[in-house]
Chains A and B, each alone.
Chain A
Amino acid sequence: MGEFKVHRVRFFDYMPSAIRTMAFNSQTERLAVARADGAVEIFNFNDNFFQEKVIPGQDGRAIEALCWVGHRLFSAGLNGEITEYDLENLRPQYTVDAYGGPIWTISSNSQGTQLAVGCEDGTVKIFAILEERIQFQRNLNRHKGRIISLCWHPSSAQIAAGMTDMITIYDAETGQATRRLLVDRAMGASKNKEVVVWSVGYLSDHTIISGDSAGKVQIWNGLTGTLVRTYLVTKWDVLVLSVSKDESSVIAGTSEGTVIQFQFISSTLDQHDKEWVRTRTFRNHSHDVSALAHTDTAVVSGGMDTQLVVRPLLDKVEKNTQESALRKIAFPHRSLVGCAKKAGLLLFQFPDRLELWKLGESEGHGEQHTHTHTLGEDHICCSALSACGGWLAYSTVSSVRLYRIHVMISVSSSLQVPKLPKELRSVHQLCFSSDSSKLFASSCQSSVIVVAVSQQECRYLHTLKHKTVSTMLYRLHLLCASDDGKWLATANTDCEIHIYNLHKMKLHCMVPVYNSCPTTIAIHPVTNNLISVHADQQIFEFSLVQKEYTQWSRRLQTQGLLSLWLERDTPITHITFNPKNPDHIILHDTYMFCIIDQSLPFPELNAVLWNQMTLKNLPVSQRIGQSHAFKICKIFQHLMCVSLLEDLSLVVVERPLLDIMSQLPAPVRQKKFAT
Chain B
Amino acid sequence: MVEHGDIRVVHCGGSKLNFRDPVITHDSRFLLCASGEAVKVFSTSTEECIHELRGHTGLVTGVLLRPSNHLQVYSSSLDGTVRLWDFTDGILIKTCVIGYPIYSFYASAKHENVIFIVTSMPSEKRAERFQLVAVHLPQSGDQLVEARELSAVLSGVNPNPAAIAFGRGVRIRRHKDNKKGGWNTFTCVACHPKDDCIATGHEDGKIRLWRNFNHKKEYTYSTLHWHHSAVSSLCFTPEGTNLLSGGVESVLIQWRYKQESERDFLPRLGAAITHITVSPDGSLFCTSHSDNKITIIQSCVKVSAVIQGLVKGDSIRTDLMMDPRSKALVLNGKPGHLQFYSLQRDKLLYNLDIVQQEYIHESGLQQFEVVKAAFDASGLWLATVEERHQKAAELELNLKLWAFDEQTQSFVLNTTISAPHDAQITAMSFRQTADSQTTLLVSTSKDGHFKAWQLAAPAHTEDEGPSWLCDFVGAYHGLVPECCSFSADGSLLAVAFQEVVTVWSPATWELLTTLSQPPGAVSDLCFGRLSCSKYLLGTTASNLLCCWNLLTCSLEWSTSMDVRRLLVDPLSENMAAFCYQSGSTDLFVFKPSEPRPLFSRKAVCSGKVTQAVFAPREEMLESCEESSQWLNRSQLYFLTQQMVNNISSSTCFLFSPLKLVIDDSVAMTPFYLLLGKHRQQQQEHRDSDSSLWAERTALPQTSASIKELLQTPAHVLPSTSYLCSMFVQSLLISVSDAREEKAHAEEEMESEKEEEDSEEEMESSRSKPELVAAATESDAPALTKAQARELRRVRKLDHSWLAGLLDS
- Please report A residues at the B interface, Cβ cutoff 8 Å: 231-233, 261, 263, 265, 267-269, 277-281, 315, 673-674
Contacts and interface: CB of A to CB of B under 8 A. Distances in A.
Given A268-B168, A268-B195, A281 B212 contact: no
Given A265-B212, A267-B197, A268-B195, A231 B261 contact: yes
A119 B220 CA distance: 38
Contacts of B212: 263, 265
A408 B228 CA distance: 62
A265 B226 CA distance: 25
B214 interface: yes
B221 A278 contact: no
Given A231-B261, A268-B168, A279 B222 contact: yes
Contact of A279 (B196, B220, B226): B220
Contacts of B196: 267-269
Leading 3 A-B pairs by shortest Cβ distance: A267-B195, A279-B222, A279-B220
B460 interface: no
Nearest to B211: A265
Given A267-B195, A315-B218, A674-B228, A281 B223 contact: yes
B194 interface: yes
Contacts of B219: 315
Contacts of B194: 267-268
A315 B220 contact: yes
Contacts of A269: 196, 214
B739 interface: no
A232 B168 contact: no
Interface string B208-249: 000110100111111101101000000000000000000000
A391 to B, nearest CB: 54
B214 A277 contact: no
Nearest to B218: A315
Contact of B220 (A231, A232, A263, A674): A263
Contacts of A232: 261
A233 B220 contact: no
A3 B754 CA distance: 98
Grouping DSSP codes into helix (H, G, I), strand (E, B) and loop, the A interface class, with mixed when no group exceeds half, is strand
A268 B218 CA distance: 14
Interface of B: 168, 194-197, 211-212, 214, 217-223, 225-226, 228, 258, 260-261
17 contacts: A233-B261, A267-B197, A267-B211, A268-B168, A277-B222, A279-B221, A280-B220, A280-B221, A280-B223, A281-B222, A315-B217, A315-B218, A315-B219, A315-B220, A673-B228, A674-B226, A674-B228
Contacts of A268: 168, 194-196
Nearest to B262: A232
Nearest to B223: A281
Contacts of B261: 231-233
Contacts of B197: 267
Contacts, number: 44
A321 to B, nearest CB: 14
A194 to B, nearest CB: 22
A315 B213 CA distance: 11
A594 to B, nearest CB: 29
A265 B218 CA distance: 10
B218 A279 contact: no
A279 B228 contact: no
Contacts of A263: 211-212, 220
A553 to B, nearest CB: 39
Contacts of A280: 220-223
Nearest to B217: A315
A279 B168 CA distance: 21
B248 to A, nearest CB: 14
Contacts of A231: 261
A315 B168 CA distance: 24
Contacts of A267: 194-197, 211
A277 B224 CA distance: 13
B217 A279 contact: no
B35 to A, nearest CB: 35
A279 B211 CA distance: 9
A318 to B, nearest CB: 10
A223 B667 CA distance: 95
Nearest to A283: B223
B218 to A, nearest CB: 5
A593 to B, nearest CB: 30
Contacts of A265: 211-212, 220
A100 to B, nearest CB: 37
A230 to B, nearest CB: 9
Question: Which of B223, B228, B261 gathers most chain A CB within 10 Å?
Answer: B261
B257 to A, nearest CB: 10
A315 B219 CA distance: 7
A232 B261 CA distance: 7
Nearest to B226: A674
A268 to B, nearest CB: 5
Question: Which of B168, B211, B228 gathers most chain A CB within 10 Å?
Answer: B211
B207 to A, nearest CB: 12
A331 B48 CA distance: 70
A269 B228 CA distance: 33
Nearest to B168: A268
Contacts of A277: 211, 222, 258
A16 B211 CA distance: 39
Given A265-B212, A269-B214, A281-B223, 15 more contacts: A263-B211, A267-B194, A267-B196, A277-B211, A277-B222, A278-B222, A279-B211, A279-B221, A280-B221, A280-B222, A281-B222, A315-B218, A673-B228, A674-B226, A674-B228
Contacts of A281: 222-223
A102 to B, nearest CB: 34
Contacts of B223: 280-281
A489 B222 CA distance: 52
A277 B192 CA distance: 15
A163 B372 CA distance: 69
Contact of B260 (A278, A315, A673): A278
Contacts of B217: 315
Contacts of A315: 217-220
A192 to B, nearest CB: 23
B270 to A, nearest CB: 20
Nearest to B169: A269
A277 B260 CA distance: 11
Contacts of B221: 279-280
A231 to B, nearest CB: 7
Contacts of A673: 225, 228
A275 to B, nearest CB: 8
B732 to A, nearest CB: 76
Nearest to B205: A673
Nearest to B212: A265
B262 to A, nearest CB: 8
A232 B197 CA distance: 21
A673 B362 CA distance: 15
A232 B262 CA distance: 9
Contacts of B195: 267-268
